[in-house]
Structure 1
Amino acid sequence: MEGAAEKVKPFKFVLLSMIPFLFLSGCFGKAELEQQAYVVVLGLDKADDNLVKVTFQIANPEVGSTGGGAAPTEPPSDIISFTASDILSAKELANSVVPRRLDFGHLQTIIIGEELAKTKLFHHIIASSIVDPEMRRETNLIVSKEKASDFIHANKPKLETRPHKFYAFMKQRWRDTGFAPYSNLNRYFQRLSSELFLSIYATTDKNETVSKNEVDYEPGQIPQKSGDPVQMIGSAVFKNGKMVGSLTGKETRIALFLRHKALNHTFVESFPDPVNDKYRITLRMTKPTKTRVKINTKKTPAEVKVTIPIRLQVFSNPSLVNYPTNPANQKKLRKSIKENLEKETMDFIKRTQEEFQSEPFLWYLEARRTFWTMPDYKNYDWEKKYQTAKVDVNYDVTIESFGEQLKPADIDKPGRD
C-alpha cells in the first residue's frame, strides 16, 4: 500500500501544476485587431430634447504606420456622428453603420462644443460615461468655440498623418509653454466642488487681432497666416460642472504660477522696456521652487499671502539699451518686471473674486489644512470667504543672465572713431 501511495504522489503533483494553465492559456476575451475600430477623438455637441450629438473619429491603422504603403489612397481616419441620449448608446448605435466593433481603448481626446459645455447636460453626459471601463480618466478635455463636429472635421494637421499624434504632441507643448492648462477627466472630477476647473480652449475659426503681448490671446485671435487651422490657447472655465467663462493665454499662465505646485516651470514672454518704451524685452522666466502660499482663516476677511520665485534670463533686447554692464538699468528692469507681474496678477485675482466668485489656484487645499476636521472646513465655506479675502502677491524676481554678449552691439556712425 505504501508503494502505491508513493506512485500516486507524483501524479497529484503534475495534476495540480497543470491547473494554472487552464486560467492562463484561455482565449475567452480575445479580439482580433482587424475586427476593432479604434476611436481616437470623441466630439460632444448639444442636440434637441436633452440629446447629444456624438462624433467619432476612427483611426485607420494602415495609414501612417510602417506598412502604410499598402493603402496610399485611404484617408487617415473616418469621422461619423450620431445623435443619441448619451455616449454609450451612440457607441452602440454606431455599430449599425461601422462594420467593426468601436473601441475606446486608444481614446486620448474629448472635444466639447462650447454650447454644450455651458449647459448642465454636459456633466450628466460625461459622468454617466465613466461606467465604461474603456473610458480612461487621463483622456484630454478640450472645449471648442464652434461645434465639436465642425472642429474635428476642420482639424487637418499638415505634419501629422495620424490624428491622435497631433493631440499627443500638443499635450507636450501645453506643458512647455503654459498657454493652456493640463486638463483631463480625472482633474475635472477632482475639482467639481466649488473650485474652478480650467480646460483647454481651442477653435478653428479665426478672428485675428494684434496684441503687443504675444500671450494675451484667446483661440482664434492669434494673427496667423497659413499653417494648421487649429489654435489652442487660454482656458475654458468650469464651475460646478458648467462652463462659466474663459481666460486668455496670459491669465492661464498666471493661474498656473499661483498654484503651489505646477507642471509648468519655464515660460518665454516679452515685457515693456523700462528705458525705451517703444520696444519690448523678451525673457525666459523659470520657477526654481514651488510657490509659497500662506492662508490665515482665523482673520476676517481671510488673508492670503503668496510668494512666487522667478528667475529671469534676457533673450532679446531690440532697444540695445545697456543692461548687462549698467547696474542702474538692471535695477530699473527688475523693478519694472516685478511691478508688471504683480499688477497683472492682482487684476486677475480680482476678476476671479468678482466674476467667477471662486479660484482656480488650488488654494482650497492650503485653506483646508488649517482645520482639524472636514466638517469644520465645509462649515467655513472657503468659496464664499475667498470672494472677500485679502490677497497679497509678491514676485521674488532675480535676473540671472543677459545672454552670451557682454554688451549689445551698436552701429558705428560715420565720423566715429
Structure 2
Amino acid sequence: MELYNKLKNKKEKISIIGLGYVGLPLALSFSKYLDVVGFDINKSKIENYKKGLDITNEADTSSLINSKILFTSNEDDLQNCKFHIIVVPTPTKCDNTPDLSPLIEATKTVARNLSKGSVIVYESTVYPGVTEDICIPIIENESKLKCGIDFKVGYSPERINPGDKIHTLENTVKIVAGIDNESLNIISKVYELIIEAGIYKAESIKIAEAAKVIENSQRDVNIAFFNEISILFNKLNIDTSAVIKAASTKWNFINLTPGLVGGHCIGIDPYYLIHKGKTLNTDLNLLNTSRLINNNMSKYIVDSTIKCLIKANKKIKNCRIAILGITFKEDCSDIRNSKVFDIIKDLKEYGIEVIVSDPLADSTYLKSNYNIDLINIEEIEDIDGIILAVPHLHFKDIPISNIYKMFKVYNQTPSYTEHEYIEKNVIIDIKSMLNKTLIDFNNFIYWSL
C-alpha cells in the first residue's frame, strides 16, 4: 500500500487520460483528495477547462476554476504521475467493428512516460481480453518495462450516465479488477476515496470487462423489444405508452420505452461483443437482431412521418418540419451517434425543409461539422409538422398552445363535407412527451411510438 499512501499524502500524483463526459467528472472527484493531472490531446478543450468552460455540462464553472487539477495536453506532465486512469472513447468503424485506435494511442502515450512502480487502470468499454491481450503488450513494448514486476494494470469500467444528476459517479457501485491481488487492493483503495456506494472486486480483468459490455448490450436488447412491439401496436391502433403503463403494475416488469438508440454506449457496445463472437466462430444472433431493429427505427419514424403528412393533405416536397432535439438522449449535450441525424438526412431526401432546435447542443460544432444551423424555439414559425425527437426538460415545459402557434395553418373549423380534404398539421411525438388529452385532433394529426 506504499503507493496508495504516497498518493493520499500527495507525494505522488494521479493522471486521468481523456477528459470527456467520463474523464472530467472523474478528475474533479479525485481532485478533492489527490493531486490530479488531467490530460487530453484536444488542446482547445484543455484551454476551455482552464477558463472554467465545459461544453459537456457535466461540470460547472466554479468547480473547474476552483479545482487544483493540472489541465494539460503536454504528455511530459504524465512523467510526474504514478497512478494512471485511461478513459478514452472506444467507438466503432464504418463496418461496426471495434475502433481501438484511441485506446491504443492513449496506451502508448502513458507507456512512453511510465516509471517503475506505476499502476495503469483502464475504464474504457472493451470486449473481454483487450486489456491483457492488446494493451499490456503495447505498454511493455513502449516502456521496456515488465508487467507485474515493474508496473501493475487493472480495469474498472466507467458507469457514468451523461446528463444524469441522480446516478452519479460517487453513488454508483464501482467494479474493479487487477492482474493480481496487490494491484486489486491498491486500485480498490484509490477508488474508495471517491465512491460512496462501495467497491465490487471482480475475480479477473476479463470478468470486469465482460460485466461492463453486457450492461449496455442488455439494455439494447430490451429497448429493441419495446421498439418492435411499438411497431405492432401502431398497426393495431393501440397506444404503446398506455400498454407499458398497464404492464408496469406488475412488480417484475422491466419498464422501458421505445425510441431512438444512439450515443457512445448502448448503440456501440453490442458490436464489441459481436466482433469478439465472430473471432470465436460464435454468432450472437440476438444482439445482431436487436442492433438491426434499433438502427432501423429512424427510418420507421421518417416513413411514419411521411404517411402522416399525406394523411394531413400536405404536399411533401418543400414541407417545413421542425425537429426539437438533436442530442442522442434527453437533458444531455452529447450528439455522438445521435439517430436524429438519420431522420434529418432522410427527410431532406424527400425535399423537406428541416429546421432544428436544441438548447443543449453545441451550435458552433453542429454548424462546422454537419452544416446544421440551430435556431431558438421561439423563432420557429410557418411549419407543417413538428418532430419531438428528444424530450429535454426544456421542451416539456412548453405549453401546447405555444407549439400550435409554430404552424402555418391553424384554427380551421371544417364542415362535415370538407373534413376529408382540409389541410391539417402533423405532430410526431417520438417519446410520447405531450399530454395526448390536450391534442386538438380537429387540426392536428398526432403520432407517437
The interval holding the TM-score normalised by the smaller chain is under 0.3
Name which one, 1 or 2, has greater alpha-carbon Rg.
Answer: 1
Q: 1 or 2, which has the higher strand percentage? A: 1
TM-score, normalised via structure 1 length = 0.26
